Structure 1
Amino acid sequence: MTTYLDLHILQLVPPSCINRDDTGSPKSARFGGVERHRVSSQAWKRAARKGFADLLDAEQLGERTKYGALRVAEKLRGLRPELSEEEALEFAGEVLKAAGITMDRKHTDQTSYLVFLSRQEIERFAELAAGLADGNEKLSKKDARAALVGTTAVDIALFGRMLADAPELNVDAACQVEHALSVHKATTEFDYFTAVDDNAPEDNAGAGMIGTVEFVSSTLYRYATVDIDTLAANLGDRTAAAQAVEAFIQAFSLSMPTGKQNTFANRTRPDFILAEVRTDQPVSLVNAFEKPVANDGTALASAAVELARYAVDGDRDFGTKPATSLFLVNERASTPELLSALDGRSTAASFPDLISAVGAAVSEESGK
């Protein structure tokens, strides 16, 4: 029996451009025959990863970087301060190459691609590099790659890692994140702006700069699921997996991609959260919005009801039910229809209580 956490979020986002395409327009997708506002899963995973910094110790997190050699060299100089920066970088590069990681041909401090490394792995690489600096024999690939075994970085365990040069060291992602979609038809608008030159002559009435910025506002449905068993296997400990789940709920729920944030100050918090621990399979509820809800000032409340009813009806039809279900709802999204739909299925909770209750449920289900 596999245990999953499903996290469903409805969030009202004001005029913003938090995730852009290659033309600078807010990302979009067609769903249910109409154009929707879309925020890519990559954008929100990145935002959640940044949020981990305030919730977990640095030693519990990884770094996705091309500057792996530079990071190893920095740790190496802490172990062997007599080494110059150039010497430390040379030894660090040797260790990474011994592990089969391809280095950039032009930049000795960079790998040829992004590598997701935990802080512990960087430390272990630095220790191997210190051995080389001390005159030890040439490092074997087996010993170098051993430094990448047994990662305990929460973000690597959740979001996975692919090493093209060392596929046996790949980490299967325990978490999947759906592209956020607006629950209604969303139309992109344009902000025409001008900028005034503070030092322009008094007789110059023209603008120093003229331009446009595209933006959109929407009520988004956000969904993520975590395979608790894979997470525990990646971290090597079920207690650590429960703690990682609690951090993920907080980071994913409260994070926001930072595109054009200075322009729009669009930071909001979720209006409705449904967190469910399941032992059958992950279930996205996005199909509740195939028919777009009316965007007439009631989209949020209507979407919450549609989501709850779709969840209840789906479990009834397939003869399933969540092992644990909790929800948080603010005043704008709370209606008698919503509370009626969730009655007997889900328990209302504050955000801190929801997080701790899910963590406890994850520990209990994973231990069975």
Structure 2
Amino acid sequence: MSKEKLFLDIHVIQNLPPSNINRDDTGSPKTAVYGGVRRARVSSQSWKKAMRDYFKDKADNGYLGVRSKRIVEYVAKKILEIDETLSFEEAEKKSLEAFTSAGFTVTEENKLPTLFFLGDRQASDFARAAVDNVKDAAILHKIIKDNVSIDIALFGRMIADKDLNRVISKENKKSKKIIDNGENEISSISLNENASAQIAHAISTHGVQTEFDYFTALDDLSKDAKPGAAMIDTIEYNSSTLYRYGNVALHEFYHQMKENKEETKKAIILFVEAFLKSLPSGKINSFANQTIPSSVVVSLRKDRPVSLVSAFETPIKTKLSQEGYVNESIEAMFKEYQKIQRFVDKPEISFYLNLSEGHVLEGAKEEINLSDLLNDLGKELDNRL
């Protein structure tokens, strides 16, 4: 792949029936004011978690990461896979020594004070270093930095451990002195990983009002002649037609994948599939809101990523009981796709897929089903990476 930039944009219109898939600290569905109107909202973090769960079901674990405070324990289990003669306590001690040598803060319960994102292959290599009693922080940091998993590459990793950041800072200052002396050329290291993907907060294309479901539950074994409710409660919910948007800086992700075209292509196809098929699971047993997108547009761009959310700054309005929001939302999204080309370059190529007929996106290829869209996208990635 040349040094040219290449971005992937994904635009989705998706309808949700009464549901509460992403709630705030009070249990209410999350909302946002946009265009002066209150909208339903599903946070970026919520949908990224759903996508990571989808990855776990579909991808080889070797390409994925684990985010936890129990990373010492996680690496200890990897150590046992390398040396079965060790007890778990011995393996955990070796893991602890390696993390401490790398500069991590570890609590008395052998946990990290903050969540840490570590790839499966990174964990295996770190375990090997622990078995070999490697104590050099620079070597241990390089292991954590190399062979990044696809979810860490896509969604990023931030180091919040002050002690670890202090060790890394000293390490980089030492490297700077070596460079200044002309003895060697060492670039500064950071265990942070910049995300190559961005996921927007999904918002409804129209205004919403929160509603309340009042419910009761009876005691099946009650002996009262006239049993009343054993439980009374309410659940808040709303229904909405969402606009969802995500993008990937393909040139950055390709670099993170060590310029391996096949791995990059497979990961991006999985990313698109997960974006379209995943669903946050909040209150899903109560509402069974198992919907799929009504419309999808996927574009490859060389200039910059572009959201089409401005199509809905003026909320979609329909005549109650006569029309829904989906068709008008699709039309508004397609019109915005054409309008933004007054400011930005025309996409290299775009594909679209609709559940309903009658919507045509000029300049884009219409797909019959998702398999065809993913197949055509894969061919384009083959040619452009």
TM-score tier (shorter): over 0.9
Q: Does residue 1:66 correspond to 2:69, yes or no?
A: yes
Give, in angstroms, the shift of residue 37 of structure 1: 0.0
Q: Quick check: 2:350–2:363 contact (8 Å CA) kept in 1?
A: no
Per the TM alignment, residue 310 of structure 1 is displaced from its structure 2 partner at its CA by: 0.8
Q: Secondary structure at the match of 1:313?
A: helix
CA distance in 1, matches of 2:148, 2:138: 20
Q: Distance in 2 between matches of 1:207 and 1:347?
A: 54
Contact 1:77–1:83 (Cα < 8 Å) also in 2: yes
Tell me which amino acid in the other structure corresponds to 1:293: I
**Counterpart-to-counterpart distance in 1, 2:147 and 2:296:** 31
Look up the SS of the partner of 1:309 in the other structure.
Answer: helix
TM-superposed deviation, 1:298: 2.6
Tell whether 2:137 aligns with 1:141. yes
The answer on 1:186 being equivalent to 2:205 is no
Output the amino acid matched with 2:324. Answer: T
2:250 corresponds to 1:228: yes
Shift in Å, 1:143: 1.9
Does the 8 Å contact 1:3/1:362 carry over to 2? no
Q: 1:204 to 1:85 in 2, by over 3 A?
A: farther
Q: What is the CA-CA distance between 1:356 and the residue it aligns to?
A: 1.8
TM-score between the two structures when normalised by the length of structure 2: 0.88
Which of the residues 24, 27, 33 maps onto 2:27? 24
Task: Answer with 205-214 or 160-169: which moved more.
Answer: 160-169
Other-structure match for 1:197: 219
Distance 2:153 2:226 in 1: 59
Structure 2 counterpart of 1:176, which letter?
Answer: Q
Q: Is the 8 A contact 2:203 2:244 kept in 1?
A: yes
Uncovered stretches (5+) of structure 2, i.e. residues with no partner: 169-189
Q: 1:347 aligns with which of 351, 358, 366?
A: 366
Answer yes or no: is the 8 Å Cα contact 2:30–2:40 preserved in 1: yes
Q: Kindly provide the amino acid, as one letter, of the partner of residue 302 in structure 1.
A: E
Quick one: which of 175, 194, 204 aligns to 1:172? Answer: 194
Question: Structure 1 residue 124: deviation in Å?
Answer: 1.0
**Structure 1 match to 2:184:** none
Answer yes or no: is the 8 Å Cα contact 1:38–1:180 preserved in 2.
Answer: yes
Cα distance in 1 between the residues matched to 2:62 and 2:264: 16
Match of 1:307 among 333, 357, 373: 333
Matches within 5 A, 1:98-177: 98-103=101-106, 105-108=107-110, 110-132=111-133, 139-164=135-160, 165-166=164-165, 168-177=190-199
Quote the offset at 1:28 in angstroms.
0.0
Q: Which residue of 1 aligns with 2:79?
A: 76
Query: For 1:98-143, what per-residue CA distance to the aligned partner results, in whole angstroms no more than 9, with x for missing partners?
Result: 222221x2311x11111111111111121122123xxxxx611112
Task: Give the counterpart letter for 2:130 in structure 1.
Answer: A
TM superposition shift of 1:64? 0.8
Amino acid at match of 1:321: K
Correspondent of 1:330 among 347, 355, 368: 355
Alpha-carbon spacing, 1:229–1:319, altered in 2? closer, same or farther (3 Å)? closer
CA distance in 1, matches of 2:289, 2:156: 30
* CA displacement, residues 232-259 of structure 1 (integer Å, 9 cap, x when unaligned): 1111123322211100010110000010
CA contact 1:125–1:144 (8 Å) conserved in 2:
yes
Q: Is the 8 A contact 1:17 1:260 kept in 2?
A: yes
Please tell me the root mean square deviation across aligned C-alpha atoms, in Å.
Answer: 1.5
Q: Is the CA contact (8 Å cut-off) linking 2:303 and 2:344 kept in structure 1?
A: no
Residue aligning to 1:208: 230
What residue identity is the alignment partner of 1:129?
Answer: A
- 1:365 deviates by 2.6
How many residues are matched? 352
Quote the offset at 1:304 in angstroms. 0.4
- Equivalent position SS for 2:135: coil
Is the counterpart of residue 43 in structure 1 residue 69 in structure 2? no
Asked if residue 254 in structure 1 is aligned to residue 257 in structure 2, the reply is no
Q: What secondary structure sits across from 2:307 in the alignment?
A: coil
Question: Residues 176 and 226 of structure 1 are in contact (CA less than 8 Å); yes or no, is this contact kept in structure 2?
Answer: yes
Q: Percent identity?
A: 38
Give the deviation of 1:16 after TM superposition. Answer: 0.5
Query: Cα deviations across residues 168-226 of structure 1 (Å, max 9, x unaligned)?
Result: 12111000000000000011100001111122113242111100000010000000000
CA displacement, residues 44-78 of structure 1 (integer Å, 9 cap, x when unaligned): 00101110123211111111111111111111122
SS at match of 1:344: coil
Unpaired runs of 5+ in structure 1?
Answer: 133-137
